[in-house]
Amino acid sequence: MFNPKWLSKTEIEELINNKVSDEEIARCRNHALVPVFDDVVEGTIDPGTGGTVYFKFRGQEEPVLDCTSQAWSLNLGHAPSDVNYAVALQAQRSNHVRYGYLTPVRVKLTNKLADIAPGRMQGGRIALNNLGGGGAIEAAIKTAFVNSRSGDQILTFWRGYHGSNLALTGATQQLGLAIRYRPFGIDRWMKTLFPYCFRCPFGYKNGFNGKKDPECHMECLALVKQHVENFHISGIAGAIIEPNQGAGGQIPAPVEFLVGLKQICKENKIKLIYDECQTGFGRSGKMWITEYYSELAGEDVSPDIIAATKGAAGGFPLGITIARPKLKMLSEAEEHSTYSSNPALMAASLVTIEILQKHRIPENAAKQGAKITAFLHELQQKYPQIGDIRGPGLFIGVEFVKDDGKRTPNNELVDKIIKNGLDNRILFGKSMPILKKSGEMMRNVLKIKPPLILSDEETEEICVRFEKSLKQALSDN
């Protein structure tokens, strides 16, 4: 496919494929400005033959079943050959143009995204970037600002995660002790309550599996309405919410909350933004979790703007912002970055979407996710430490509690299960830390979010290894 000009193929292959030594790794760690994990990922167990749910760590012969999709990004598995072929094919012609230029692949991808946008967003306006979710969310917020008549604040929700750059750190759940500087623009963010039905602050006890307590009167929504109408400083331009919180603990908003929030935003001329950075592109069992909620509601609950990334391009970095067709465009000065019209990344996304649609990958996520959650509910009957199980699809969170009847968060058990999981050749994730100034930390949700290409056999293997890891963790107590 390629004929190298400056180096031979052998030289390039040696640079890329030669193994690294312990000494080189130690030097790298000494040079690192940011923390790195102990293990070194070598990659797929089967190079060049398609995506896989397994990968290998350096120095370990037995592969690991990946239930993290490497930060929930590898919807098509490790090293998906179709996507990699598309990137190589596109890179032969062009691997970079400046932001304002269209390329054939950008034309195709933009039109495809407009076609698959959910609900009233279909046919909308598209912005693309190579920065991922942070860039997509910033473009969404800028779009809300330029379409607002007076507001300059953004409503955000407790436990939400929207990025870690200097601006968006203020929108994210207060990290408190975890950061050593003050974020920019914190006066622009107005925080309000997110509905956490398993830990309802209004005292309801029967909110499970992302559904509200049958007795609930949506007091949380009434509180949000009060915040919006009475407590802003200078007017609210937009509201950004993860319909199903990811980093904060795999916490789905009950559908009634999203229906009501959309109405509140409409009444107050606030642009509603859904952060689908984790849930977009099939993980919920639908192409968009917006579609999942619209189906539950029996009406269109789509927002004004969506921000997406993660599974958009088979592991390559691409951020996507979709706005309703009638919203004003951003100007060149308001939205641009050097590498954000990268044709290779867009080729990766175009092929990823084609695979998701042609091979009904979101439907497989729904099918395999239902099997895993059904199994977890069976386990819950035996193990009271499993407090709540939340989906949908392969967006699964298991909240662990102490067996004390108080739903006390069980951080230690989650850590043990993850450690035992690695011994059992399976990698689980966990929720971000929720910190208090007292030093108390809550990090008790274990995540099961594997690639969406799971087979029936691989799903069964996840269940077997999960139960084994849980039993071992409990026997250690």
Beta bridge partners of 401: 409
Give me the chain's average pLDDT, please: 95
On whether residue 437 sits in a domain, the answer given is yes
Percent of the chain beyond pLDDT 90?
90
- Per-residue model confidence (pLDDT) at position 105: 98
On whether residue 298 sits in a domain, the answer given is yes
Q: Is the pLDDT of residue 11 over 80?
A: yes
On whether residue 22 sits in a domain, the answer given is no
What pTM does this model have? Answer: 0.97
Q: Range of 218's domain? A: 86-358
User: CA–CA separation, 41 vs 51, rounded Å?
Assistant: 16
Give the mean pLDDT of 397-411: 97
- Per-residue model confidence (pLDDT) at position 449: 98
8 A C-beta contact, residue 436 and residue 176 = yes
DSSP element (H, E) containing 252: strand 251-252
pLDDT tens-digit readout, 123-145: 999 999 999 999 999 999 999 99
Residue 377: count of CB within 10 angstroms of its CB: 13
Give the mean pLDDT of 23-49: 93
Q: Is the pLDDT of residue 232 over 90?
A: no
pLDDT tens-digit readout, 100-123: 999 999 999 999 999 999 999 999
Alpha helix locations (H) across 402-455? 411-423
CA 383 vs. chain centroid, Å, equals: 28
Shared domain for 262 and 399, answered yes or no, is no
- Per-residue model confidence (pLDDT) at position 77: 97
On whether residue 239 sits in a domain, the answer given is yes
Give the mean pLDDT of 355-362: 98
Give the mean pLDDT of 15-25: 96
On whether residue 471 sits in a domain, the answer given is yes
On whether residue 51 sits in a domain, the answer given is no
Tokens of 257: 């909350």
Q: Is the pLDDT of residue 180 over 90?
A: no
User: CA–CA separation, 416 vs 122, rounded Å?
Assistant: 45
On whether residue 65 sits in a domain, the answer given is no
- Per-residue model confidence (pLDDT) at position 421: 98
Q: Which residues of 158-193 are buried (b: 16+ CB within 10 A; e: fewer)?
A: bbbbbbebebbbbbbbbeeeeeeeebeeeebbbbbb
Q: Is the pLDDT of residue 315 over 80?
A: yes
Shared domain for 377 and 470, answered yes or no, is yes
Give the mean pLDDT of 206-216: 96
Percent of the chain beyond pLDDT 70?
99
341: domain CATH number is 3.40.640.10
Please work out, in degrees rounded to the nearest 5, the angle formed at the alpha carbon of residue 68 by the alpha carbons of 65 and 70.
100
Beta bridge partners of 397: 390, 447
pLDDT tens-digit readout, 222-231: 999 999 999 8
pLDDT tens-digit readout, 237-246: 999 999 999 9
Domain end residue (candidates: 316, 335, 358): 358
The letter for the amino acid at 302 is: S
Domain end residue (candidates: 358, 386, 404): 358
Nearest alpha carbon to residue 268 among 229, 219, 231, 223: 229
On whether residue 69 sits in a domain, the answer given is no
428: domain CATH number is 3.90.1150.10
Give the mean pLDDT of 311-323: 98
Nearest alpha carbon to residue 329 among 190, 176, 124, 136: 124
Domain end residue (candidates: 310, 339, 358): 358
CB burial of residue 70 (10 Å; 0-12, 13-18, 19+): middle
Shared domain for 206 and 181, answered yes or no, is yes
Shared domain for 239 and 335, answered yes or no, is yes
- Per-residue model confidence (pLDDT) at position 435: 86
Q: Is the pLDDT of residue 176 over 70?
A: no
Shared domain for 173 and 287, answered yes or no, is yes
- Per-residue model confidence (pLDDT) at position 325: 97
Shared domain for 183 and 311, answered yes or no, is yes
Shared domain for 268 and 410, answered yes or no, is no
Give the mean pLDDT of 195-210: 97
DSSP element (H, E) containing 143: helix 133-146
Number of domains within the chain: 2
Shared domain for 442 and 332, answered yes or no, is no
User: CA–CA separation, 133 vs 323, rounded Å?
Assistant: 15
Q: In sequence order, what DSSP letters do the residues of 356-411 get, joined into one string?
A: HHHTTHHHHHHHHHHHHHHHHHHHHHH-TTEEEEE-STT-EEEEEB-TTSS--B-H
